Structure 1
Amino acid sequence: MDYQRKKKLTFSTIGLIFLFSGVEYAVILPTIWRYLQTLEAPPYFLGLALSAFSLSGLLSGPLFGYWSDRTQTTKKIILLCNIFEIIGNFMYFMGYSKWLLLSSRLLAGIGTGAGSSIFGFLTRSTASEDRATVFAAVMACRQAGLLIGPAFNIFLRLCDFHIGPFIVNKYTAPGLFMFLLWMLLQLAVVFMYWDLPPTERRKTDSISERHEEENVHGLGEENNEEEVEEEIVPLMTSQELVGSYGSMMTSSQSFEERHIKVLEIWFSCNFVLSAVFVPEFLREEVVVLLAAQFITLFNQTALETMVTPLTQKYFDFKELENSVMYCLGGVVVIAGFLLVHWLSRHFTERVVFTIGLTFCNISCIWCLIFLANPLGQFQLVLTEFIIGVFLQALGLPFVAVAQVSLFSKVTSERTQGFSQGVRRSVGGLATILGPLWGGGLTENMYIMVGVMVALLILLTVGKK
């Protein structure tokens, strides 16, 4: 099979991974609270179950990313992560007790750590100028999953039968459904996913092939051999190839390798702490992008938590109205990703990032002015609410895609999996703290939204 076909199948499989992760979130979230109630779980168990999923993903991301950097492979990691998803969702389907359900979300969350390896893989296998476009397409797949996920619940809520000792109803059916989807995805990864070579190595291979072809035709044999060697030598500075050609290392390279080995041991013992103290993560541009990851996700999840109580209080929205609202929001987000996909071909990531921050700033300031203490008639307040949500949903894709692409360029490509794991862990921390902030201050909107505005302004100033 030729390279281009392998690349298309591999990228399609990656799209399925992110699509299914979005579907899982959308089919489980609407019913998990009532599911816990049937298991006689106290109210705080909902927060535990949701946080457990984010927490295990936060911890597993850097670990799997570091593993992919060391091996320069991702297929085995994805297969392992899918096993965690399969087992976790089957445990969710089994039910029995609130503790089993909590454990199921903890295990499933470990499976999300594959995202770090995948982003590292995409960084290595795509050209720098195409990276934002590829990231936008991949991240849009997850949003598509969030959009179509509620549609599956329309059918899953009708389930009422037994499979052996297990009950299949509207609460357990989402777990069984995702168990089957992840099983199918496991087969897709086995047969449709390849660990493609890095971009620079591929270019060198093509140069070598061209030179060999010229040699066959008798065109400058000696000169071509020298050029091929010149092209290959720079690649040997990578850690993996240096280790394979020990006889070619100089004494300074051996000294450098010994230091790298020491760092590897440190990473293995405590990879999270090491990431904090590695100078690469203390550079200004890296800190700004990590702050962007945290602040945007913190604000997003805080607003998502605030939206439902707000619509109930001022508009008397029920489940149907909220579902329609989330679906429309998903449409706006997907439209934003498509717009970013187009803009990234004509503008730099920095411009896209600035546009996104502008939308987010306007949205939060709008919410602070008009929604912290809504005044006026129903139609006016509803219009103000729609504008605020629309601006927030539209700005997120710009910031999300641009900061991922920029982060891949300002961090070392050799440790890209680990770097993306750190970035995703920062995002995981935001998704844990955001709902706690939003849920605890629904009656103090000025404080809640005011802090969010301050964080965005701080990020905007830091970006400059």
Structure 2
Amino acid sequence: MDYRRKRKLTFFTIGLIFLLSGIEYAVILPTIWMYLQTLDAAPYFLGLGLSAFSLSGLLFGPLFGLWSDRTRATKKIILFSNVFEIVGNFMYFMGYSKWLLLASRFVAGIGTGAGSSIFGFLTRSTAPDDRATVFAVVMACRQAGLLIGPAFNIFLRLCDFQLGPFAVNKYTSPGLFMCLLWTLLQLVVVFMYWDIPPQQAGEHEPIVGQAEEQVEVEAEEEEGKPLMSPEETPGSYGTVPSSQSDSSAVSNGNLPNCSPPPSPTPQSGPSNPFKNFSAAREYLKEEVVVLLTAQFITLFNQTALETMVTPLTQKYFNFRELENSIMYCICGVEVIAGFFFVRWLSRRVAERVVLAVGLIICNISCVWCLIFLANPQGGFAWQLAEFIIGVFLQVLGLPFVAVAQVSLFSKVTAERTQGFSQGVRRSIGGLATILGPLWAGGLTDYLYVMLGVMMGLLVLLTIMMFFSYDRLVEPPVVQQADTEDCGES
């Protein structure tokens, strides 16, 4: 099979992985509370079950990322992590006790840790200019899963039969259904996923729209002007390996330190990517702190608002399951459209511009919610219009911030440790998805406090981005310092 076909199938498989993660969330969430009630669970078990899933992903994401950075064996990591999804969902299907149900969500959450390895793989196998568009499509796949997931509940709620010693009903069937889907995905990964070497992705199969730049790079290399990768240390540019080489260069009439450096070692080699690695130096950089803060605050606000929406619609509009399902479906369509719009926009403007636009929309949304939703005024039609506009603005800003901060993060952190870095980023997001619902769940009757804190966090993030705007770009490639020195000599 040729390289291009392998590449397409690999990216298709990654899309399926994120699609299934969205379907799982949409299939499990609507029935887990009623399922826990049949097992005599206390109300707080709902929060524990949802948090357990995020907690295990938070803990294991960096570990899977570390594994992928050391081995570049993303396929093995995906196959291994999917086992936890299969086992966790089968435990959910078994039921028996509330503790087994809680453990099932923790086990299944471990499988989400492979996402850090996948983002690391995408970073290494895509050109920087094309990265935002790829990330946008991958994130849209998960949103598509969230959109079509409720449709599966239409027939899953009709299940009522025995499978050996296990009862298959509307509460247990989502676990069995997802267990089967993740099992089928294992076969897809085995036959349709390849670990594409990074240098092959850049040299032999340039991404659409990058062919001209690739030709120029090859021409420069032929002229003795190699383009160095951002991760190499500045001191290595233009250096000669030994004093013997210096003397031979002088004897041949050439100046020392002016010859092209040796080709960099392929990143898939056996060398340790964490040699000379410093977490403080890597993650306490100004631009990295801003992007990790954006990851936390946007997910914190998003999950807090998601938690607030259902009680709010019940209180003011008397929405039931059907109305809420329709609302979530419309929001899903908007989010998917937003991701594809960001995919188009990111080809024309810089990611930091996309991030700035998203933050502006999020600020407007939060101000609107503070004014009109914290204490709704007017009749039913006016209150409903206020609510729809607030939700529309909140959902609209999400794709801009999500895609921009992921793409920028992949560029301002070292590529050789990208899996671990993406694991750290996803862990920050996991922490936000745990704290957001806990914050909003206890303040549904105090919306001014809840929304006021969210507004304050957004203002803080906006100020941070404003002062760090010039640093939110891909680090420049240092490649001509020694050439200038030679010219002066």
- TM-score normalised by L of structure 1: 0.87
Aligned positions of 1:24-63 closer than 5 A = 24-63=24-63
**Equivalent residue for 1:351, pick from 353, 356, 373:** 353
CA distance in 1, matches of 2:397, 2:276: 42
Unaligned runs of 5+ in 1: 208-222, 244-256, 264-273
Question: What one-letter code is carried by the residue in structure 2 that aligns with 1:233?
Answer: P
Matched, 1:186 2:186: yes
Aligned positions of 1:326-365 closer than 5 A = 326-365=328-367
Q: Which residue of 2 aligns with 1:170?
A: 170
What is the DSSP-based 3-state SS (H/G/I as helix, E as strand, rest coil) of the residue aligned with 2:167? Answer: strand
Deviation at 1:346, TM superposition (A): 1.0
CA distance in 2, matches of 1:48, 1:317: 26
Aligned positions of 1:40-439 closer than 5 A = 40-198=40-198, 200-203=199-202, 233-236=262-265, 240=269, 242=271, 275=279, 278-439=280-441
User: Contact 1:201–1:235 (CA<8 Å) still a contact in 2?
Assistant: no
User: Contact 2:197–2:268 (CA<8 Å) still a contact in 1?
Assistant: no
State the Cα deviation string for residues 321-342 of structure 1 (Å, max 9, x = none).
1111111111111110011111
C-alpha distance 348-166 of structure 1, shift in aligned 2 (>3 A): same
What is the DSSP-based 3-state SS (H/G/I as helix, E as strand, rest coil) of the residue aligned with 1:196? Answer: coil
C-alpha distance 51-206 of structure 1, shift in aligned 2 (>3 A): closer
CA distance in 2, matches of 1:195, 1:136: 21
Q: Which residue of 1 aligns with 2:244?
A: none
What is the DSSP-based 3-state SS (H/G/I as helix, E as strand, rest coil) of the residue aligned with 2:349? Answer: coil
Question: What one-letter code is carried by the residue in structure 2 that aligns with 1:462?
Answer: M
CA distance in 2, matches of 1:446, 1:42: 29
Question: What one-letter code is carried by the residue in structure 2 that aligns with 1:350?
Answer: R
Question: What one-letter code is carried by the residue in structure 2 that aligns with 1:133?
Answer: T
User: Contact 2:299–2:429 (CA<8 Å) still a contact in 1?
Assistant: yes
CA distance in 1, matches of 2:315, 2:440: 15
CA distance in 2, matches of 1:366, 1:160: 46
State the Cα deviation string for residues 52-106 of structure 1 (Å, max 9, x = none).
0000000010000010000112000000110000000000000011111111000
CA distance in 1, matches of 2:101, 2:263: 51
State, as a whole percentage, how many aligned pairs show the same letter: 74
CA distance in 1, matches of 2:366, 2:380: 21
CA distance in 1, matches of 2:442, 2:304: 10
CA distance in 1, matches of 2:168, 2:89: 13
CA distance in 2, matches of 1:23, 1:239: 33
Q: Which residue of 2 aligns with 1:448?
A: 450
Deviation at 1:189, TM superposition (A): 0.3
State the Cα deviation string for residues 99-137 of structure 1 (Å, max 9, x = none).
111110000000000100000000000001100000000
CA distance in 2, matches of 1:394, 1:446: 22
State the Cα deviation string for residues 228-266 of structure 1 (Å, max 9, x = none).
xx99933228594557xxxxxxxxxxxxx9xx5586xxx
User: After alignment, is 337-346 or 296-305 more displaced?
Assistant: 337-346
User: Contact 1:156–1:174 (CA<8 Å) still a contact in 2?
Assistant: yes
Question: What one-letter code is carried by the residue in structure 2 that aligns with 1:445?
Answer: L
Unaligned runs of 5+ in 2: 207-221, 227-258, 467-489
What is the DSSP-based 3-state SS (H/G/I as helix, E as strand, rest coil) of the residue aligned with 1:162? Answer: strand
User: Contact 2:126–2:201 (CA<8 Å) still a contact in 1?
Assistant: no
Deviation at 1:345, TM superposition (A): 1.2
Q: Which residue of 1 aligns with 2:237?
A: none
What is the DSSP-based 3-state SS (H/G/I as helix, E as strand, rest coil) of the residue aligned with 1:30? Answer: helix
Deviation at 1:225, TM superposition (A): 12
User: Contact 2:358–2:398 (CA<8 Å) still a contact in 1?
Assistant: yes
What is the DSSP-based 3-state SS (H/G/I as helix, E as strand, rest coil) of the residue aligned with 1:183? Answer: helix
User: Contact 1:204–1:232 (CA<8 Å) still a contact in 2?
Assistant: no
CA distance in 2, matches of 1:98, 1:352: 44
Query: Which 4+ runs in 1 deviate beyond 6 A?
Result: 223-227
Question: What one-letter code is carried by the residue in structure 1 that aligns with 2:194?
Answer: W
Question: What one-letter code is carried by the residue in structure 2 that aligns with 1:148?
Answer: I
Q: How many residues align?
A: 420
Question: What one-letter code is carried by the residue in structure 2 that aligns with 1:9?
Answer: L
What is the DSSP-based 3-state SS (H/G/I as helix, E as strand, rest coil) of the residue aligned with 1:375? Answer: coil
CA distance in 1, matches of 2:170, 2:395: 30
CA distance in 2, matches of 1:281, 1:299: 23
Cα RMSD for the two superposed structures: 2.2
User: Contact 1:204–1:231 (CA<8 Å) still a contact in 2?
Assistant: no
C-alpha distance 99-450 of structure 1, shift in aligned 2 (>3 A): same
User: Contact 2:127–2:202 (CA<8 Å) still a contact in 1?
Assistant: no
Q: Which residue of 2 aligns with 1:266?
A: none
CA distance in 2, matches of 1:74, 1:421: 13
User: Contact 1:137–1:337 (CA<8 Å) still a contact in 2?
Assistant: yes
CA distance in 2, matches of 1:232, 1:416: 25
CA distance in 2, matches of 1:395, 1:433: 21
C-alpha distance 24-231 of structure 1, shift in aligned 2 (>3 A): farther
Deviation at 1:22, TM superposition (A): 0.2
Question: What one-letter code is carried by the residue in structure 2 that aligns with 1:71?
Answer: T
CA distance in 1, matches of 2:317, 2:132: 39
What is the DSSP-based 3-state SS (H/G/I as helix, E as strand, rest coil) of the residue aligned with 1:31? Answer: helix
C-alpha distance 39-203 of structure 1, shift in aligned 2 (>3 A): closer
Deviation at 1:26, TM superposition (A): 0.2
What is the DSSP-based 3-state SS (H/G/I as helix, E as strand, rest coil) of the residue aligned with 2:262? Answer: helix
User: Contact 1:353–1:398 (CA<8 Å) still a contact in 2?
Assistant: yes
C-alpha distance 231-168 of structure 1, shift in aligned 2 (>3 A): farther
User: Contact 2:331–2:392 (CA<8 Å) still a contact in 1?
Assistant: yes
CA distance in 1, matches of 2:224, 2:378: 79
Q: Which residue of 2 aligns with 1:12?
A: 12
